[in-house]
């Protein structure tokens, strides 16, 4: 992994001067917010990578009232009887219009031996105690399992059913390829549409599951997460940058440049956002990490980013080259370049980096944005020069003109993931059936409507992708909320 930049300056070291504080309702708190909170937590603890992850470590993040409360975190590895105190948590203050001011706390968990079970607890100075169990990140010599689903935080029954099925599959981590939260990436929307489903106290199809507290979550930012950048309209928007705690090691640049669209609003709104986001904005939009024997790149594929920018392209090339020891290479971003659905078909701007993925020996690319499941043949794509343009969107996030990307497509039709398990090229997976309304169900049984690169198109049921990664073998399954296997391929090296 490219060295992660340490960035703790923006986090305020927690004061242990415990002041008298009330966990009761605060003036001005909105109804749904109050309904979501439990005990001293505005949002219960959830597991993240951290801004500069190190082997054997995870981050735990939680939200609490904007008062000093003597928070502390302990870890107890499996087989040990006593708790080990962790370093004092740090916090950033979120004081934006639209939600009650609150603090986002973060502490590092030294989780212990790779793949080992550990317990952790988060305590306040008044005796409240939250405890959960999780697994330490796996090492390169250990098999691991991850789950992928996008377009999920819509507040639907299907979102909760997919959350529950994910919990049943027991992944080591969950990857969300964007559109984490609808409709505008707002803190207030996370309160009602995200935390309740993925951090439910009990696992049940109609409730969701206690996933976030027990399973590492990683996410790419989709258009519904970070494309609405007018704080005058959505003052608690862009919450991705203050609620997620992910590696800060990717390419970035100035606002208004090729990689970072301007954030608008009054000076006060802008300051409140930047204070809440700290160094996560804008850098956290792109990053890379290692898990087990795999290397991952997570990219911002929103229309506001110029994927043809030479510096952006060079970063992806260099990052893949630096991951030469990784057995597997995965890339995740929101907008798919290879999509057969009528919905979002014109958005093909991400195809411009296909040759980079091929040269960097990427095995699988995971996308969302299109609310169904699609698997491509292993493919190579040589874009025709000058035909890839950055697409334009109206203020509602809808694409305006057509920006199809032409080029030369080479398909490995002999790969079937069963008898032939050695793909020639990159396999592109659309897995955006995580909760929101499905797209183009009429196309599932109409292969004549699919593009030549598509081999599977499941658009009538919500589903998630489950991948088992071993040293020389990978098994990908697409699973419905009921546990039905909809697709399966094996890839071997």
- For residue 426, which phi and psi values (nearest 5 degrees)? -95, 135
Q: Is 223 in the site for Fe ion (CB under 5 A)?
A: yes
Point out which span in 115-123, 179-187, 241-249, 260-268 binds Fe ion (CB under 5 A): 179-187
Strand ordering across the sheet containing 364-367 = 287-291, 294-298, 328-332, 364-367, 427-431, 373-376, 454-458
Q: Is 431 in the site for Fe ion (CB under 5 A)?
A: no
Site string for Fe ion, 343-382 (x = CB under 5 A): --------------------------x-------------
**Residue window 321-350: x/- pattern of binding to Fe ion, with contact defined by CB under 5 A:** ------------------------------
Q: What is the CA radius of gyration of the chain?
A: 22
CA 335, CA 305: separation in Å to the nearest integer?
12
CB nearer to Fe ion: pick between 65 and 179: 179
Peptide bond into 183 cis (omega under 30): yes
CB of 371 to Fe ion, least distance (A): 8
192 or 223: CB nearest Fe ion = 223
Q: Is 101 or 397 the residue whose CB approaches Fe ion more closely?
A: 397
Which residue of 179, 225, 236, 487 would you call a contact of Fe ion, by CB under 5 A? 179
Which window, 24-32, 138-146, 178-186, 292-300, contacts Fe ion (CB under 5 A)?
178-186
Residue whose Cβ sits closest to Fe ion: 369
Q: How far is the CB of 479 from Fe ion (least distance, A)?
A: 22
Nearer to Fe ion, 222 or 434 (CB): 222
* Closest distance of CB 41 from Fe ion, Å: 30
Q: Which is nearer to Fe ion, 68 or 300 (CB)?
A: 300
> Cβ contacts of residue 61 below 8 Å, gap of 6+?
45, 46, 47, 48, 104, 105, 106, 243, 245
DSSP E strands in 66-101: the ranges are 72-77, 84-85, 90-94
Say what the alpha-carbon torsion angle 10, 13, 15, 21 is, to the nearest 10 degrees.
Answer: 50
Among 14-22, 159-167, 177-185, 459-467, the segment contacting Fe ion (CB under 5 A) = 177-185
CB-nearer residue toward Fe ion: 177 or 196: 177
Return the residue of 89, 137, 222, 336 that touches Fe ion, per CB under 5 A. 222
Torsion angle, alpha carbons of 310, 313, 318, 320, to 10: -170
Question: Strands 328-332 and 294-298: what pairing?
Answer: parallel
300 lies in the binding site for Fe ion (CB under 5 A): no
DSSP 8-state secondary structure symbol assigned to residue 52 = S
For Fe ion, which is the closer residue by CB, 118 or 373?
A: 373
To Fe ion, the closest distance from the beta carbon of 26 in angstroms equals 34
CB of 259 to Fe ion, least distance (A): 19
Least Å distance between CB 178 and Fe ion?
6
Nearest distance, CB of residue 484 and Fe ion, angstroms: 25
> Please, what sign has the CA dihedral across residues 140, 314, 360, 353?
positive
Of 40 and 222, the one with the shorter C-beta distance to Fe ion is 222
- For the four alpha carbons of 420, 341, 337 and 159, in that order, the dihedral sign comes to negative
Size of the site for Fe ion (CB under 5 A): 4
Cβ atoms of 430 and 339 closer than 8 Å:
yes
Q: Kindly report whether the peptide bond that precedes residue 230 is cis, defined as omega within 30 degrees of 0.
A: no
Specify the stretch interacting with Fe ion by CB under 5 A; choose among 86-94, 105-113, 136-144, 215-223.
215-223
Question: From the CB of 334, what's the least distance to Fe ion, in Å?
Answer: 6
Shortest Å, Cβ 242 to Fe ion: 21
CA dist 205 and 160 (Å) reads 6
DSSP 397-440: S-B-S-----EEEEE-TT--SSS----SSBEEEEE--SSSPPS-
At its nearest, how many Å lie between Fe ion and the CB of residue 33? 26
Six token digits for residue 36: 């979501």
Among the listed ranges 69-77, 172-180, 244-252, 436-444, the one in contact with Fe ion (CB under 5 A) is 172-180
Q: Which residues bind Fe ion (CB under 5 A)?
A: 179, 222-223, 369
């Amino acid at each position: 992994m490219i060295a992660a930049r340490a960035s703790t300056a923006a986090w305020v070291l927690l004061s242990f001067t415990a002041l008298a504080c009330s966990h009761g309702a605060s003036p001005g708190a909105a109804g749904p917010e109050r309904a979501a909170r439990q005990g001293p937590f505005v949002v219960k603890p959830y597991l993240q990578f951290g801004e500069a992850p190190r082997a054997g470590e995870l981050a735990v993040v939680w939200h609490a009232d904007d008062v000093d409360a003597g928070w502390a975190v302990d870890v107890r590895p499996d087989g040990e009887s006593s708790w080990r105190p962790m370093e004092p948590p740090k916090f950033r203050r979120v004081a934006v219009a639209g939600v009650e001011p609150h603090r986002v706390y973060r502490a590092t968990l030294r989780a212990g031996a790779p793949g080992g079970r550990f317990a952790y607890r988060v305590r306040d100075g008044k005796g409240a105690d939250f405890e959960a169990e999780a697994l330490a990140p796996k090492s390169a010599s250990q098999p691991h399992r991850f789950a992928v689903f996008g377009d999920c935080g819509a507040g639907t029954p299907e979102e909760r059913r997919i959350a529950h099925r994910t919990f049943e599959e027991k992944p080591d981590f969950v990857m969300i390829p964007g559109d984490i939260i609808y409709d505008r990436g707002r803190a207030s929307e996370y309160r009602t549409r995200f935390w309740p489903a993925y951090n439910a106290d009990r696992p049940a199809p109609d409730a969701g599951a206690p996933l976030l507290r027990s399973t590492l979550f990683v996410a790419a930012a989709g258009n519904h997460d970070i494309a609405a950048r007018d704080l005058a309209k959505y003052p608690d928007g862009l919450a991705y940058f203050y609620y997620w705690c992910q590696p800060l090691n990717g390419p970035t640049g100035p606002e208004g440049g090729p990689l970072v669209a301007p954030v608008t609003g009054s000076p006060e709104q802008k300051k409140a956002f930047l204070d809440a986001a700290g160094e996560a904005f804008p850098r956290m939009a792109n990053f890379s990490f290692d898990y087990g024997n795999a290397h991952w790149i997570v990219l911002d594929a929103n229309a506001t980013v110029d994927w043809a920018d030479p510096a952006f392209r060079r970063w992806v090339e260099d990052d893949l080259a630096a991951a030469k020891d990784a057995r597997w290479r995965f890339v995740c971003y929101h907008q798919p370049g290879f999509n057969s659905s009528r919905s979002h078909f014109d958005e093909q701007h991400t195809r411009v980096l296909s040759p980079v993925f091929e040269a960097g020996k990427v095995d699988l690319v995971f996308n969302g944005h299109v609310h169904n499941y699609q698997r491509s043949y292993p493919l190579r794509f040589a874009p025709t020069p000058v035909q890839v343009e950055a697409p334009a969107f109206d203020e509602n996030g809808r694409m305006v003109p057509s920006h199809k990307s032409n080029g030369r497509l080479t398909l490995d039709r002999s790969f079937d993931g069963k008898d032939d398990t050695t793909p020639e090229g990159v396999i592109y997976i659309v897995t955006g059936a995580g909760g929101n309304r499905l797209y183009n169900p009429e196309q599932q049984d109409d292969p004549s409507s699919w593009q030549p690169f598509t081999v599977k198109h499941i658009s009538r049921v919500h589903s998630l992708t489950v991948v088992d990664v071993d040293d020389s073998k990978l098994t990908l399954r697409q699973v419905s909320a009921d546990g039905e296997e909809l697709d399966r391929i094996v890839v071997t090296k």
